[in-house]
Structure 1
């Protein structure tokens, strides 16, 4: 009975919020005149927890670069201004893109939107109309992705999209797979259970203290948001060794209390990069903090961000332990996505086992992949890898030539420069993709040793 009353109360609150939003629909204005070097996006709406993240997510997903932002959501109204450019740093002149911004933001913030910013889902397997989504977290180690890929290949699964992050000895992945024969989602319960069981064994390895977590999940959310949530839930922000990494390259994050207004003020200074604003806002939102005011400036090589926050219960950061946790979590959010090494792009016809074969070639040439994005479009595999020498040094040109000859000169293109590899910006763990599975029938062992 108590559960029914609580559910009824929740539904009532939700309907009331939708009513308020219908009475005050979001207003989105695109201004190409007031700023000489950027397009200005203004968003006004009735306020609701998580709206800031939704707007930033839309702009980020449209591959727009946010150079400046002014955030105000104190009280019942949400007013934000964003200066954006395309990926080449130019103002937006494409009417399709401009109209898309307006439509997407209105749909995201409208009364019928279904976003739930604090939603947590168990790591596991979820079905959609065209593919099965697999979410994995575990302890990072050499060859982990190759072992996962080998299991999926032997189980007749094709990886059509994937993104994998590593940070502070932890690894998280969101992978979309299809059945090798039907090219559609895998629906057989026994087969899904088998996939979960074997992948869990791979992820656990011989780690008895912090293994993998698996469970059947429901629905889908934004991939980058899930990766942040998964690594946050896995406590990757807890540094196992404070001496690891170059301290001078860590972001500068401070949290102080503004007693006059009872806010906590968060300031962040670090090297600018795409999606930095999204990563920060995503983490603050998932930590249950509300941004009341904010100022973002990323026009130079260094990004500066300032936020006035409170917890959702209305309190500022009120203890030293909480202050340190906010700092650690924001540092981790910034570090997770940073890509280190020489950037390689692969474009070829998609096939089952392609990811395993590519990482095998990298491993045979003593290269370690620090991060990768795998996607499939129109039957073509379009993959991005960031590689370094296994010892952490820049890639030798002769080694690179050998790899390109093995894979194909036109198939694998170099997008970075070896000189960039010497500038370390990555989290301490660099070896997720470094090794290769020892057997293509790895899943038969039931338990994989590192």
Structure 2
């Protein structure tokens, strides 16, 4: 709502107005086990806003649910999704605690709705608490022994590695390391000590430029771990490498990753088509990349046939423009291919620092 502030010459914007639509029309979630023989249908109707598609896909992905089909529409002010999901064994979702959690996670976020749900799923998967750990973000050139050296430095500096997740692609590496103080068991608070850790880790990365330095994150906000890894590798421009066959092309029955972008001027969209080998979390990776590149998905169709996944996204830039230049279209193609390939080399550790050193020496 807009009004003229008393005694002022500029308009007053009621901060409650921005959330008025969602409060009047909270998201409606339907979980249907009858409409489809081989999958559970998760249907969501909601007021539209940027990033909502990624949030929904993230919730389903973090619960290790497989998405075999999806129909997405968000033209205008309303968002409508239908997802065909199964568990990792290919079965429908029948666990009532899980169904209740999906209702809460995707539906009404009011305090009363949240208070009603007490299940084993209430801890968000894929997010580490910054109140319990210090998060170090690393990116640079990948090489044998790198993780072993990183963990050795942290051990010498009396840090305990609680968890670490590593992606490598096109000879680049992105790593999130969650550490605690060996003495207190909590996050590191001393600025001088943190500066020393950053300096030591820069030396381990051996000469990377200023855009690829080790980083320590103290932000109160929490970014989803895998989304942050995508962001780090995108910022590190891992998509510019290329020049060799990906693992998906070599190992997976010769199923190649094919991405194309065309403009559909009569409908006012750019269309991104993806064909590749199906795998867990594929939809999250592609939607995450398009969202972080500041594109809006207005319509999408996802389908899986055997081992092959087909994805079609109708998108525009956030400013409403199509992908007008060939350079921009090629950039979307390269970034989408990179997002699909990165997870193949995912390495995840959750352990103490001494065990982390041993496994790093074995793997790398």
Q: Could you say whether these structures have the same fold, taking a TM-score greater than 0.5 normalized by the shorter chain as the test?
A: yes
Correspondence for 1:25 = 26
Q: Match of 1:329, SS?
A: helix
- 1:138 matched to 2:140: yes
Question: Are 2:32 and 2:42, in contact at CA under 8 Å, matched by a contact in 1?
Answer: yes
Could you tell me whether the CA contact under 8 Å between 2:163 and 2:349 is conserved in 1?
A: no
> What is the rounded CA distance, in whole Å, between the counterparts of 2:145 and 2:17 in structure 1?
51
Per the alignment, residue 122 of structure 2 pairs with: none
The change in CA–CA distance for 1:127 and 1:69 in structure 2 (over 3 A counts) is closer
Partner SS state of residue 344, structure 2: coil
Residues 260 and 333, structure 2, Cα contact 8 Å, conserved in 1: yes
Equivalent position of 2:279 in the other structure: 273
Could you say if the C-alpha distance between residues 315 and 109 of structure 1 is closer, same or farther in structure 2, counting changes exceeding 3 Å?
A: farther
Q: CA deviation at 1:128?
A: 2.4
| 2:332 matches 1:331 | no
Contact 1:250–1:331, Cα closer than 8 Å, also in 2: no
Cα distance 1:352–1:324, how it changes in 2: closer, same or farther (>3 A)? closer
Quote the Cα distance in structure 2 between the aligned partners of 1:23 and 1:277.
30
Aligned match for 2:152, one of 145, 150, 154? 150
**Residue 189 of structure 2: aligned partner:** 187
Q: Is the 8 A contact 1:44 1:78 kept in 2?
A: yes
Secondary structure of 1:135 counterpart: strand
What runs of 5+ residues in structure 2 fail to find an aligned partner?
Answer: 1-9, 115-127
**Retained in 1: the 8 A contact 2:316–2:322?**
yes
Does structure 1 conserve the Cα–Cα contact (< 8 Å) formed by 2:45 and 2:78?
yes
Residue pairs, 1:234-245, within 5 angstroms: 234-239=236-241, 242-243=243-244, 245=246
* Inter-partner Cα distance in structure 2 for 1:127 and 1:275: 22
**2:85 corresponding residue in structure 1:** 84
Task: Specify which of 280, 288, 306 is matched with residue 282 of structure 1.
Answer: 288
Once the two structures are TM-superposed, the CA of residue 182 in structure 1 deviates from its matched residue by 2.0
Closer, same or farther in 2 for the Cα pair 1:132/1:210, shift >3 Å?
closer
Tell me how far apart the structure 1 counterparts of residues 189 and 218 of structure 2 sit (CA, whole Å).
13
Structure 1 length-normalised TM: 0.69
> Secondary structure at 2:44's aligned position in 1?
strand
- TM-superposed deviation, 1:39: 0.5
SS of equivalent to 2:50: coil
In structure 2, C-alpha distance between the alignment counterparts of 1:15 and 1:183, rounded to whole Å:
41
User: In the superposition, relative to structure 1, how do residues 53 and 255 fare at CA in structure 2: closer, same or farther (>3 Å)?
Assistant: same
User: Could you report, residue by residue, the CA deviation over 1:123-163 in whole angstroms, capped at 9, with x for unpaired residues?
Assistant: xxx98221111111111111111110111111111111111
Is there any run of 5+ residues in structure 1 with no aligned partner, and where?
A: 1-8, 114-125, 363-368, 370-433, 435-450
2:301 aligned residue (273, 295, 298): 295
2:227 aligns to what?
225
Change (3 A) 1:250 1:14: farther
Instruction: Compute the displacement of 1:199 (Å).
Output: 1.1
Q: Where do 1:52-91 residues align within 5 Å?
A: 52-91=53-92
Q: Distance in 2 between matches of 1:252 and 1:228?
A: 20
The answer as to whether partners of 1:160 and 1:177 remain within 8 angstroms in 2 is: yes
Q: In structure 2, do the counterparts of structure 1 residues 208 and 23 end up closer, same or farther at CA, with 3 Å as the change threshold?
A: closer
For the 8 Å contact 2:134–2:217, the answer to whether it is kept is: no
- The answer to whether structure 1 residue 201 and structure 2 residue 203 are counterparts is yes
Deviation at 1:288, TM superposition (A): 0.6
How many residues matched?
334
| Contact 2:246-2:341 at 8 Å conserved across structures | no
Query: Residues 180 and 352 of structure 1 are in contact (CA less than 8 Å); yes or no, is this contact kept in structure 2?
Result: no
How has the CA–CA distance of structure 1 residues 95 and 136 changed in structure 2, closer, same or farther, with 3 Å as cutoff?
same
Change over 3 Å in CA distance of 1:207–1:83 after alignment to 2: same
CA distance in 2, matches of 1:181, 1:346: 22
| Structure 1 residue 327: Cα displacement | 0.2
Instruction: State how far apart, in whole Å, the 2-side matches of 1:186 and 1:156 are.
Output: 11
Deviations 1:13-70 (A, max 9, x none): 8643312211111000110100011100000001001000000001111111111100
* Aligned residue number for residue 386 of structure 1: none
1:305 pairs, out of 307, 311, 330, with 311
Which region of structure 1 is more displaced relative to structure 2, 148-157 or 16-25?
A: 16-25
Q: Aligned equivalents of 2:192 and 2:72: distance in 1?
A: 49
- 2: CA distance, partners of 1:148 / 1:262: 49
Displacement after TM superposition at 1:208 (Å): 5.1
Question: 1:108: Cα distance to partner?
Answer: 6.7
Which SS does the other structure have where 1:274 is aligned? coil
- Could you say what secondary structure the match of 1:337 adopts? helix
- Is 1:173 the counterpart of 2:175? The answer is yes
Once the two structures are TM-superposed, the CA of residue 211 in structure 1 deviates from its matched residue by: 4.0
